[in-house]
Structure 1
Amino acid sequence: MAGGNAIRGSRVGAGPMGEAERGDSAPRLHVSYYCSSGHETRPAFAIDAAIPESWDCPRCGLPANTDADNPPPPPKITPYKTHLAYVKERRSDAEAAQILDEAIALLRARRASGEVIY
């Protein structure tokens, strides 16, 4: 055994730790949740606990509910937008060309005046 002793912390002749030492477990209710991928998840809840309407599927991460015939649809994922995509939403091609022309004219004027530009 590389990591240690398997019976560490117990004594010879000790019996298994079971319900006799811990008492009876609380009564439980198993509820079936279904996701749109067809997975069924059955978490256990206490009898007197409030049962949630939705549950995340542990296999695929999609939302699940208790209706097997109508599971919730997968959430819509918006694609990642770059900075350029947001700029293109705000500016038309004509506005972009005008801004570019102004920037080039300013740069050429600075170079013509002898300013060192890196």
Structure 2
Amino acid sequence: MASGNAIRGSRVGAGPMGEAERGDTAPRVRVSYWCAKGHESVPSFAEEPGVAPPEVWDCPRCGLPAGQDREKPPEPPRTEPYKTHLAYVKERRTESDGEAILAEALEQLRKRRGE
């Protein structure tokens, strides 16, 4: 016995004629992209005058950047290792700077304590 819900089992936008009542689809252009691992992906873009497809596209298989030139794909991005706060401080300061700052901080601490 039906529950009385007329739209059960259908999707939003589906009418009695289905896809045909929605009209023509926009013209498409398919562009091939190759990544450094040799994967090819062929996404489609709306064909609009004056608008070019992007130069670089992310490869859906490996995530590397892919370009339109099969012989010279884009280089994989260089990943920097994680740096700690101390590593960044050591980039900005020399060992002697650190010792001078430490001595100054200890001097101020001793003054506050009354030593």
The normalised TM-score by structure 2 is 0.68
Alignment equivalent of 1:95, drawn from 94, 97, 100: 97
Amino acid at match of 2:9: A
Amino acid at match of 1:33: Y
Amino acid at match of 1:31: V
Q: How many residues align?
A: 106
Alpha-carbon distance change, 96 to 8 in structure 1, aligned in 2, over 3 angstroms: closer
Cα distance between partner residues in 2 of 1:72 and 1:79: 21
Determine the structure 2 residue equivalent to 1:35: 35
Cα distance between partner residues in 1 of 2:109 and 2:53: 66
Structure 2: gaps of 5 or more residues: 1-6
Is 1:7 aligned to residue 19 of structure 2?
no
Query: Among the aligned pairs, what percent are the same residue?
Result: 54
Determine the structure 2 residue equivalent to 1:18: 19
Shift of 1:87: 1.7
Larger Rg: 1
Cα distance between partner residues in 1 of 2:91 and 2:76: 27
Shift of 1:47: 4.3
- Cα RMSD (Å) of the superposition? 2.8
1:25-73: CA deviations, max 9, x gaps? 3443221111113322111134455233222223333221112222111
Amino acid at match of 1:5: R
Alpha-carbon distance change, 97 to 26 in structure 1, aligned in 2, over 3 angstroms: closer
* Deviation beyond 4 Å, 4+ runs, structure 1: 8-11
Q: What is the SS of the residue equivalent to 2:62? A: coil
Structure 1: gaps of 5 or more residues: 114-118
